[in-house]
Amino acid sequence: MAVKLLTELKPGEKGRIVKIGGTGSIHQRLLDMGLVSGSEVEMQRVAPLGDPIEIRVKGYNLSLRKEEAASIQVEVT
């Protein structure tokens, strides 16, 4: 399976989180929002200018800044 950054997924594409990057409070914030290794994510949509993106994780929609999403590696399913 291919590993991509979360920002590289196209709307409708699904994947499983394999690694959460970042440091300090940003890393902890992502974990607190349910973005943990093994979680299934689906790209919902990308804002017209590319930032933010909206994903579906654990049954809810979540908007992330592109710089935050770029630190998350996803195995495309």
Cβ neighbours of 72 (radius 10 Å): 24
pLDDT digits (tens, 9 = 90+) for 13-70: 999 999 998 888 889 999 998 899 999 999 999 999 888 999 999 999 999 999 999 9
Give, in order, the Cα–Cα distances in Å from 43 to each of 9, 21, 24, 38, 64.
6, 18, 25, 16, 11
Q: What pLDDT sits at residue 47?
A: 92
- Determine the pLDDT at residue 4: 93
Range of the domain at 20: 3-76
Q: For position 25, which CATH number holds?
A: 2.30.30.90
What pLDDT was estimated at residue 17?
A: 95
pLDDT at residue 35, rounded to an integer:
92
Q: What is the dihedral of CA 6, 8, 10, 12, to 10 degrees?
A: -20
pLDDT of residue 46: 93
Tokens of 12: 């409708």
Q: Which two tokens stand for residue 36?
A: 């943990």
If one counts the domains in the chain, the total is 1
- The stretches of 2-56 forming alpha helices (DSSP H) are 24-32
pTM equals 0.85
Per-residue model confidence (pLDDT) at position 5? 93
